[in-house]
Amino acid sequence: MPTKVENWKDEVYGAEIREHLMEFAAEGWDAIPEDEHDAWFERFKWWGLYHQRKGQESYFMMRIGTPNGVLEPGQLQVVAEIADEYARGPVDNPEFGGAYCDWTTRQSIQLHWIKIEDIPEIFEKLEANGLGTQQACGDSWRNIVGCPVAGKDKHEHIDAWPVAEELHETFKGNDDYANLPRKWKVAVTGCDQGCGQGDINDLAYEPAEKEVDGETKLGFNIRVGGGLSRKEPRFSRSIDVWVPPERAADIGHGMSALFREYGDRDDRFNARIKFLVDEWGTEKMRDVLQEEFVDFELQTAGENMRDQYTYNAGGQEHGDHVGVHEQPDGNYYVGLDVLVGRMGVDDVSELAELADEYGSGEVRLTQRQNIIVTDVDSDRLDEFLDEPLLETYSPDPHPFMRGSIACTGTEFCSLSIVETKNRQVRYARWLKDNVELPEGVTDFHIHLSGCTASCAQPQIADISLRGMKTRKDGDPVEALDIGLGGGLGENPNFADWVEMRVPADEVPGYIRNLLATFEAEREPGQTFREFIAERDEETLQDLAEAEETDYEDPYMHNTKMTWYPYADEDDMGDSPAPTDGDGESIAPADD
Amino acid sequence: MTTDVHQLDDGAWISVNDERRINVSDLWLLARHDVCDCHMADFLVEGFAEVGVDHPDIQARVAGRCITCGTEGVTGWVTVGRVIDPESGEFSAVDTTSIHVPDRRRRLARPE
């Protein structure tokens, strides 16, 4: 039997939601019938709006989908202006101020504290500048991800950007695929480094060579069924299919139609295609695709390039896109480290100006929550690198700063168990000041996810942190499970969960002790991932002890019980929400 | 009026009459349970796997982990609140710091 969400989707879903959204916006928050809140909030996701958590009613997170993370010249300034004007909440964040932008692990943008009354103006401004929120959330084709420097990368075999752009154009607003059983995440990789992260997507296009009519051609191998959520992580699996770039959209049609018809609409916990791949196996997946969903003969997989993948592969070759890199055209792209992916709006605005002044004005978002300024003129590179803003968003950051990723956490998210972004900022700063990295370690990834949804992609980090609770001196405190040794590359590996329920204030001490053990016991030249991989579970558990240090954690209490963790008066009852279009509290109806 | 009950956002919370009433992330004490061998499980609520009604109680099967022994699991049906006034649909949530006793469910929230 279809779920309630499916019933709501049957009534109204896809593009038609917009008309209702605009009517509610015109009339104000109160116009949304109280007994239809859940249905409408579920539908609004399709237009990139996610109702914030309990205590923050009437406020929305808004996600802007930027395919492949590409922001064309001028678009970053638009995003900064929108954030500045519309994304201000009742209370400032102590680390990031009153308005800020989040760069996500899927190369999208998230703004918070958005009020429904402002949606028409925001949409108008976004769309007038070639941006949009359509299908940024909800059960459909999500933002297409890929190598963030596609088209500007010396390691590239196929320029994946036109392919990602074609998929974006084809499947955004396409009624045939507007209502899928669950989210549909797609990655396109064109380089030989593997930085599209296809292994953790529902549908992955990976570069591969194929002999066609006696000629070697470049195209994509197809993998299906990757994903990290719900303690059921899966790497995508090859279905033994190769397509030339001009067939990429056809495979997109076929695979997402297959998912639409055969995905589980009775159980949202079982709906992602990774579970269908589990059930069918890859051979049946290929057969059904061939027989029912494409009208051309599928070719078998070509020769992939996975043995060359260096992105997040555990070595030191290519952990991210931070740094200064020459483009094939002689210009440079400069990857800047954005700690936990969040930038205050004044900084965003200043960066937009710098990108315009020194480069083409284009910037790109990475799957490591960083930002890249592209097309920097070689003659002005040094001048750009001397800009004061790059002291904060450095192209040469400390490994603990560049390796940090964090999800949204209890600040805004209903799912999260613990506070994340501000905590990870404090972790990174403390580790930088207090822990020596072992010799030769220049990349070290620490990902903090507030829950098992795994938005910070914890399972593919050197150190994986996942929200938990424990008791300390009898009182409940925020805690983290700790996993070790995850990553991508030719042989991707999910982290092994080693230490469970470590009080959050003892995690930095654990990491310090762990790295000391690594340095003392490693073989010469051995990477951290290799060091973890060769040890059994029992040994891993004995590697280090968690302990308190002089690190102080202001978020040990149950931040989910607050209406906003950083408010001076943070009790749920102190929340001003819901508010009207002016941000004024709306009195309860029975007053 | 009919009381509308469901879990949403990957089981992050339980909605009663379109209002978010019970959330993940709290520790619940479970007695006479079959999640683990602990006499009293100190159970972190990570998600609501199912919701149901045993009139007038609203019940849920809760996914999570006992933080004493580390065992993960899904509880039997636990009462999470009660509809006090069927006419108005007024709902009162249980005190989540009390001790919960999972029981068998008796009726589905939606027809089979």
Q: Which of B4, B46, B65 sits opposite A451 (nearest CB)?
A: B46
Contact A405, A368 (CB under 8 A): yes
Domain count, chain A: 4
Among chain B residues, the shortest Cα distance to A32 is held by B18
Contact B30, A435 (CB under 8 A): no
Q: What is the pLDDT of residue B112?
A: 40
Q: What is the pLDDT of residue B105?
A: 46
Among A71, A95, A128, where does a domain finish?
A: A128
| A582 within a domain of the structure (yes/no) | no
Contacts of A575 in chain B (CB under 8 A): none
Q: What is the pLDDT of residue A305?
A: 94
Contact A37, A58 (CB under 8 A): no
Q: What is the pLDDT of residue B1?
A: 66
On whether both A267 and A157 belong to a single domain, the answer is yes
Say how many C-beta atoms besides its own lie within 10 A of residue A353's C-beta.
Answer: 15
Pair type for strands A100-103 and A70-71 = unpaired
CATH number at residue A336: 3.30.70.3340
CB of A497 within 8 Å of a chain B CB? The answer is no
Give kind and range of the element (H or E) at residue A404: strand A404-406
On whether both A171 and A281 belong to a single domain, the answer is yes
Mean pLDDT of B3-23: 88
Mean pLDDT of B88-98: 85
CB of B53 within 8 Å of a chain A CB? The answer is no
Contacts of B27 in chain A (CB under 8 A): 469, 471, 476
CB of A336 within 8 Å of a chain B CB? The answer is no
Q: Which of A38, A54, A467 sits opposite B18 (nearest CB)?
A: A38
Mean pLDDT of B11-23: 89
The answer to whether the Cβ–Cβ distance between B24 and A453 falls below 8 Å is: no
Contacts of A4 in chain B (CB under 8 A): 6, 110
On whether both A433 and A497 belong to a single domain, the answer is yes
The answer to whether the Cβ–Cβ distance between B8 and A453 falls below 8 Å is: no
On whether both A242 and A176 belong to a single domain, the answer is yes
| Segments in chain A below pLDDT 50 | 589-591
Angle at CA A477, nearest 5°, toward A475 and A482?
135
Q: What is the pLDDT of residues A53-111, one digit of tens each?
A: 999 999 999 999 999 999 999 999 999 999 999 999 999 999 999 999 999 999 999 99
């009437």: which residue's tokens?
A58
| A313 within a domain of the structure (yes/no) | no
Distance in angstroms (rounded) separating the CA atoms of residues A386 and A390: 7
On whether both A288 and A372 belong to a single domain, the answer is no
On whether both A446 and A409 belong to a single domain, the answer is yes
Q: What domain range is A23 assigned to? A: 4-128
Contacts of B12 in chain A (CB under 8 A): 414-415
Contacts of B8 in chain A (CB under 8 A): 5, 38, 42
pLDDT band at B86 (very low <50, low <70, confident <90, very high): confident
Distance in angstroms (rounded) separating the CA atoms of residues B49 and B51: 7
CATH number at residue A79: 3.90.480.20
Q: Which ipTM was obtained for this model?
A: 0.88
Structure tokens at A539: 């040994």
Nearest Cα to Cα of residue A233 among A461, A536, A535 = A461
Burial zone of A517 (CB within 10 Å; 0-12 exposed, 13-18 middle, 19+ buried): middle
Nearest Cα to Cα of residue A449 among A474, A471, A417 = A417
Contacts of B42 in chain A (CB under 8 A): 471
CB of A407 within 8 Å of a chain B CB? The answer is no
The answer to whether the Cβ–Cβ distance between B25 and A4 falls below 8 Å is: no
Phi and psi, residue A567, nearest 5°: -75, 145
Q: What is the pLDDT of residues A333-388, one digit of tens each?
A: 999 999 999 999 999 999 999 999 999 999 999 999 999 999 999 999 999 999 99
pLDDT band at B8 (very low <50, low <70, confident <90, very high): confident
Distance in angstroms (rounded) separating the CA atoms of residues A293 and A309: 31
According to DSSP, residue B2 is labeled: P
Best probe of the B interface among A417, A466, A558, by most B CBs < 10 A, is A417
Q: What is the pLDDT of residue B106?
A: 45
Instruction: Report chain B's C-alpha Rg in angstroms.
Output: 13
Structure tokens at A120: 């028409």
| A577 within a domain of the structure (yes/no) | no
| A136 within a domain of the structure (yes/no) | no
The answer to whether the Cβ–Cβ distance between A269 and B49 falls below 8 Å is: yes
Q: How many interchain CB pairs under 8 A, A with B? A: 76
Q: Which of B8, B49, B67 sits opposite A501 (nearest CB)?
A: B67
Distance of CA A323 to the CA centre of its chain: 20
Nearest Cα to Cα of residue A405 among A351, A465, A472, A362 = A465
User: Which region holds residue B10: left if phi is over 0, alpha if psi is between -120 and 50, else beta?
Assistant: left
Distance in angstroms (rounded) separating the CA atoms of residues A331 and A152: 9
Q: Which of A35, A38, A469 sits opposite B27 (nearest CB)?
A: A469
The answer to whether the Cβ–Cβ distance between A451 and B6 falls below 8 Å is: no
On whether both A294 and A328 belong to a single domain, the answer is no
On whether both A463 and A551 belong to a single domain, the answer is yes
- Min distance A414 CA to chain B CA atoms (Å): 6
Best probe of the B interface among A29, A34, A35, by most B CBs < 10 A, is A35
On whether both A423 and A470 belong to a single domain, the answer is yes
Contact A459, A233 (CB under 8 A): yes
Least confident of A556-565, B51-60, B70-79: B51-60
| A562 within a domain of the structure (yes/no) | no
Helix axes A248-262, A273-280, angle to 10 degrees: 80
Among chain B residues, the shortest Cα distance to A54 is held by B20
Contacts of A229 in chain B (CB under 8 A): 10
| A315 within a domain of the structure (yes/no) | no
Q: What is the pLDDT of residue A149?
A: 95
| A161 within a domain of the structure (yes/no) | yes
On whether both A171 and A302 belong to a single domain, the answer is yes
User: Which region holds residue A172: left if phi is over 0, alpha if psi is between -120 and 50, else beta?
Assistant: beta
Structure tokens at A508: 């930095």
CATH number at residue A536: 3.30.413.10
Q: Provide the chain B residues 56-95 that lie in CB contact (below 8 A) with chain A.
A: 65, 67, 70, 72
3-state helix, strand, coil in chain B (%, to 5): 0, 60, 40
On whether both A76 and A190 belong to a single domain, the answer is no
Contacts of B65 in chain A (CB under 8 A): 468
Distance in angstroms (rounded) separating the CA atoms of residues A223 and A578: 44
Q: Which of B17, B23, B112 sits opposite A560 (nearest CB)?
A: B23
Q: What is the pLDDT of residue A558?
A: 87
Among A308, A342, A377, where does a domain finish?
A: A308
| A298 within a domain of the structure (yes/no) | yes
Q: What is the pLDDT of residue A264?
A: 96
Nearest Cα to Cα of residue A499 among A462, A444, A543 = A543
On whether both A112 and A160 belong to a single domain, the answer is no
Structure tokens at B78: 């636990």
- Min distance A60 CA to chain B CA atoms (Å): 14
Instruction: Report chain A's C-alpha Rg in angstroms.
Output: 23
The answer to whether the Cβ–Cβ distance between A417 and B46 falls below 8 Å is: yes
Q: What is the pLDDT of residue B110?
A: 52
Among A98, A128, A158, where does a domain finish?
A: A128
Contacts of B70 in chain A (CB under 8 A): 500-501
Helix axes A507-521, A421-434, angle to 10 degrees: 40
Q: What is the pLDDT of residue A263?
A: 97
CB of A34 within 8 Å of a chain B CB? The answer is yes
Among chain A residues, the shortest Cα distance to B109 is held by A4
Q: What is the pLDDT of residue B56?
A: 86
Q: Provide the chain A residues 113-172 that lie in CB contact (below 8 A) with chain B.
A: none
Among chain A residues, the shortest Cα distance to B70 is held by A500
Q: Which of A1, A414, A476 sits opposite B12 (nearest CB)?
A: A414
- Min distance B20 CA to chain A CA atoms (Å): 7
The answer to whether the Cβ–Cβ distance between B9 and A414 falls below 8 Å is: yes
Nearest Cα to Cα of residue A107 among A64, A150, A161, A139 = A64
Q: Is the peptide bond before B56 cis (omega within 30 degrees of 0)?
A: yes
The answer to whether the Cβ–Cβ distance between B8 and A38 falls below 8 Å is: yes
